[in-house]
Structure 1
Amino acid sequence: MAPLTLREFSVYGMFVLMFAAILYGRPPVHAKNFEAAFQGECREDSPCQHLCFDLHDGTFECACKEGFTLSVNGYSCIENSKMKDRINWTNSSIWMENGTSIEDFFDSDDIEKIHSVHTINKGHPESLSHTFDEPHPERNHIQLNLDTLGKDEKKRTHRPISYEHLYDNSAGRSLNSLNVHASEIPSPSKTDNHIDIFQPMNTVVVSTPSVHQIFHSCSDLQCESGGICVSDSKSKHKVRCRCPLQRSGTFCEQAVQAKYPRFREGSYLALPILRDAHKSMQVTLEFRPEANDGLILYSGEKLDLQEDFISITLNKGFIEFRFDCGMGEGILISDQPVVLRSWNTLTIYRDRWDAWMQLNSGSQVQGRSKGLFSRITFRLNLYVGGSPNISLVAERTQAKSSFKGCLRHLAINRQVYDFRPRPKGDAIEGVDIDECSADVCSKVTCLNGGQCVAASPDYGVCLCPLGFIGDQCETAMELIVPLFNGSSYLQYPGLGNTVLSFIELQIVFKPYRPNGVLFYNGYKMDGTGDFISLTLVNGFLEFRFDLGTGVAVIRSEEPLDVGVWHTAFISRTGRDGILEVDEQKRVEGMSPGAFTQLSLPLNMYIGGVHDLRDVARKASITESFTGCIQKVIINGKTLKLVDDALSGINVANCLHSCVEEPCKNGGHCEPRMDYYSCHCHLGYAGNNCEKEVTEMIAEPMFTGASYLHYMDESIVKRIRGNKIDIRFKFRSFGPSGLLLWSGKKEMSTSSDYLALGLHDGYLTFQYNLGSGEVLIVYNSTKLDDGKWHTVRAIRVEQEGSLVVDGGMRATGASPGSLNQLNVNNGLYLGGMDSMVSLSMNKYHSGLVGCLANVTLSTDYHIRLITHATTGINIQPCL
């Protein structure tokens, strides 16, 4: 299109541009390109490299940030230090702020090459285009007469100036609605109606052709990123850049990620050759046409389609499906026209000679190909939206132009196509493909760090970070029990090499829809390699994993009810997998091949994934989870759903009692399916921690989820070292539970620890000094009878002994040569936090009972409540 001249702009328009430039902080002369503007609006796909300015008359201009100058192509920016080397000496003019000298910027040889010098002349805006043979000797500034803005002085000084869509292309963000008023303009230094807008600057700018000048030949047009200069089909006097897949713009300078591809004249996408479609095929297509004619899809045996082929075209607004099995084509024509600029759904089913077609809610149209052959041979790629050589296929398809419009869904048989390039997507190649949803976020404002994304080609939605919800992420909230809405997820560090041979996972969840991914961790972003997933598929729970040689699919025997809580447990040892759901029968399966290890370096996801297109295809994940997730335990360690998350999107709170914070006095609410329990701090008790415990507790009672923790050095030093002597009395109302533990903050199989506990009613004493474990079992009698029993446990270097109620002594010794206990996590009594993971799956519950008279080293009596650093759920013994 022809560039607009400066004289075609109103003074008001220039004022808006210049004042907005000052607001943004860029030197006005740097941004100068007044003699050319482009039709349209500033958007993310505009050609401007740094800044784009919408003008008042439906046009826009490119500009550069401070320290850069607009280059000769009119859209990119060059550092000022490099500007001189990029001057187009065959068409160069110098625009200067008066008071500067051309010799300040160029040597004598360069000055001879400059055709003209332009200065900014005081009081005469039209003189911006005036040409001088030499720099003007006077120091002049641009001045603007406010009388051009209106006749009434009072109204004029308060006239709002809206400068919409100042777009920063370098950062990919729109700085919308820079609104100023004339009354905010600095007062003039003189008493007249003239305002000095530009201050003198030592600045020089090369005047260059506009980006939207007419390129008559490819010698004038330099395409980037693999683009090819071609003749424009609309005018024999123009050329343009033909851009490869993932590139767009006048010079192919813009990156494009076409999730919903938009086609124009000359566009096409090439997808892989159709497989298993020779006999029968079902095609589902959702498209939004912008013209009544065009080639939508085709494939076949030969380049000219002279033998076997299929094609879908638009002809005068009607859909035509043509197919030939080798002896004559069949033609199906829709019973109604497409709806332009609206989404249309097309379904085609072909079985050998016969075919059926339905457009939108129209009638089903039937047809049949000619001859005896019933199969179609496909040797060409599947071309969508057009063709590399449309004239070659025009005779068979009856389409002489490309499809113009958008495509949001294409499925053939079981293959749903991803229009991104390989390896992430299915596209082999493409030309001139834009993104249909490119501008859907232009009117969406997301707050508090929310990010707008295209939910479809028609509208954008805000993805809210953790702690915020709402259409615009405007509402802050504390996340307690996560609720996932089908576009949500929580992201965590990947499991990496921690589950090479073994993994156990337990998850408590309540689904609201019968489909969605609960848990996923993979190996590669291109959908290949190892992965593990837990997904709802039509109500059934599927546990899948791939060790690199094939996928194991383990499926629950019965579907799960929606709207109720479920508990699922999965485990994998080598190639063997197990799935248990609620009270259903255990289901087992095995992965094929010889590989036995699972490597998961990518991030782990709960409740959804960042992009469904980036997961392993063999996981068959089609949508994110909709519902609540209450608990996740991986290899005995409870995942802190909020605190452990790296990030999360669109996660709200589930309708649960814990969200109402029922626990008083700082108590912690733990969800338990539809119910909850409160973990009370020391000094408080009751179902909701509402009772204050005032009496001294000499004999504390533990509930199985209770503990006392001691970090005092006088206690810890009597635990670690080369010996220990512990005496206490206890009573237990349950057969199993941890009584005493001392270990490290991060435990491994070789970590030092010491433990006393009950297993099936028998007391055990076990420890590891770094060279191996010893387990000493007092099996003379069971001790879960609710009566008080006295215990003494002694360790001297590697030797240990255990005595109960003054009876026989049980002894043992740890292997190896190490004899010191090195621990750093204090002493726990009655249980501990993160019990399963810290005890390495040795204990799953604390003591259900009471402790008293705990003595270390024969003389140090622990005041169980007073000496405790922390404690949870402690009450007086019954």
Structure 2
Amino acid sequence: MRAFWVPLLGIVFLLLNPGFAKDQDDIQKSQFEAAFQGHCNHGSPCEQICFELHDGMYECDCRDGFILRADGYSCADMNFTVSTQSIDDLKLDLIYAKDAEIEAVEISFPNASSDSNEILQNWSSFQAASGTNFTTLGPRLEQKVISESSIKLKSTQPISAIRTCHLDCGPGGGCHIEEDAEYPKCLCPLGRGGDKCEKDMEIQSPRFTGFSWLAFPALRGAYKHVQLSLELRPEAYDGIFFLTGERDDMAGDFMALLLHQGFVEFRFDCGSGVGIVRSDETIILNQWNHITLYRHRWDAWLQLNNGKHVQGRSKGLFSRITFREPLFIGGAGNMTGLDEKLPVSKGLKGCMRHLEVNDHLYKFALDPSGEAFKGYGIEECTADKCSKVPCQHGGKCLTSESSAVCLCPLGFSGDLCEIRVDLQVPSFNGSSHLRYRGLEESALTWLDLEINFKPTTPNGLIIYNGHRIDGTGDFMALTLNDGFVEFMYDLGTGYAIVQSTNKIELSEWHMIRVSRTGRLAILTVDNQFPVEALAPGAFTQLFLPQNMYLGGVPNFESVSPKVTVRSAFVGCIQKVQINGRPFAILAEALGGANVDNCPHPCVARPCGEDGVCIPEMDYFTCRCKPGYRDHLCSRGPPSFNGVDSFFHLSDSTTMEAISSDPLDINVRFKSHSESGLLLWAYTGSSFVSLGLKHGALEMRYTSGYREDEMWVVHNSTTVNDGLWHRIKAVRDGTTGLLVVDNGAAVTRQSVQIRSPNKPFAPSQAEGLFLGGMHHSLIGPVTGYRAGIRGCIADLVINSDYHLGVINRSAIRHNIGECEV
């Protein structure tokens, strides 16, 4: 098939120098045919990939992330920035790509010291002459590109594969990104490995990525008889894993073994029609499968995993297959014309550990250690380790030299991702992350960031957002570095770093606030003295179009090399607020991995189905969902945990009820604590309190007639046994009465004379408190060190005011739902 190459729309940016005066005809669309006479193996000039055509011609192509230049044989990186070249030089450097056009390219200004008015005038003239529309220059010649290079592809190649691949993968390597991947990777030539193809690697059991292949010499002595056996561990239901034939366009004889919708298919053509043999069973993903194939002349037999033998026959009179092309394993290599002969065109995704053809066992390593003479994108298979770690619910197995672990998707945890997690407050373990939309233009001029977190290690990346996926350009990062909190940012002309004055305590909750306006950033950690930094250069804007990450990143290659902390955060993060807006940490996440629940009261969902638990350090408050404004969020009676756990009412109806005299309180409760505050009612002039002391119930009160504090102690019944008890407490002037579980009444037993100079309770203590009180008030105001650990229900005041603690709105702090 002859290929035609459509050039990119080369939008050439003038550098606004009076020496560059060119006619806009220099920028144009054109078409040309990049085909040469000859053969690929006879001194072709192709820089990267050569394809044989079938009329004595050949053409050149480039790997992912590169595109063909106008000369038809050399390749250029897709990410190019026009600098100080002359227009004549740029004409020679126009880039062409198959069925693609480019709309915009970022521009840089290396000589920003020129007169700004002259530059702006020349820039405006160029835009008017060329018909282009670019972002304007900011103050001090600042140029912020609001969108990355936009590439429109008519082919099926993912746009991300070209737009975001910036990795330098060395000679013969190619940068590649799959459609569902978050970051790019290098596909290396056979014999090379590592993140950037920098290491020597000898392949024993190859793993194919779907874009990989191995090439072996053409089959010999197999024209009428082929017996094949192989073992493979597929990770996808479609892919070619054995392909060879007479011509590289599949126009002549061929033989292919592939996966199609999970079934194994053998397709072969002896020259007069395709024969197809298809397994009755489907392949088993992520496990080793054994395939046996036998072909003799027209007939073929296929067996998958000791299953049923299936048989097929090719068409026509011819019974021999001519093999001139290499034997490609794992992919199509340079074979074309697949769409006309095969139902799939993508290669195998998975591993292969055994291939035997006509009693010859193949060695997958590069010649001379093995028999492959070429290969691309091959990794060493670690599936034997992963076969012992069957990750569930879409978890991915990651291997090291000594072990294999599951990387669990958001919402699952456990060694095999077998535990479904109702995430409330996220915990990060050093291999975790949460992913969000980038801040983009919302952080251009100013950024206000608040985070509550509890670290367990002194180093880790807390939050990161960048400009490019390769870590270059603008970025902002919040990290822990040897116990110090650091905020780093780069506006495009150099990075700045601001560090906390002191180290922070591990396993404690801390509050961080970052306030950045233009080049200035101020960092405040807890009650430490604020520190600030000023970014160098003239740029004042921060543009962050890439995904924002919390707690870590999938790959530190996407993090700016200026960030020295190269490990993920370990600990809990419970609050993120950006530019004054509370950030829904879990609800707004686009994805994540290995995130579990932090030990926190919110994990128990104390606010019920109708409420949202808002964590506040070690405690929480409940916020009712819309439509539940007049109801308590939890469905059962509230439970209290003793510390900063309380229910507070101060509305006018409640205040009127507790101001009455006599005051009759009837309440049902259960408690596991020997001592603690059960109820506090204060009007500003008098109070009533109920509490436990050494397991006995006591009532304390004052009346409007005198300031003396009176006590009633019911010590004949122990009420801290975890069972439900009903109390009747009455204050009538200076008289007090207590009844427990319909037993005998106990009246006032003692009086404590108050000092006339002793201040009474502050206004914050006014109203009705159940279960406890804020830790700063409970001791000085009530005399109790904490609240009860238990539940309260059925509160009735003066026989006609049913408080309804289950269905009443109030301030709720650190309250759970009681298990009745």
Q: TM-score of the superposition, structure 2-length normalised?
A: 0.39
Q: TM-score of the superposition, structure 1-length normalised?
A: 0.37
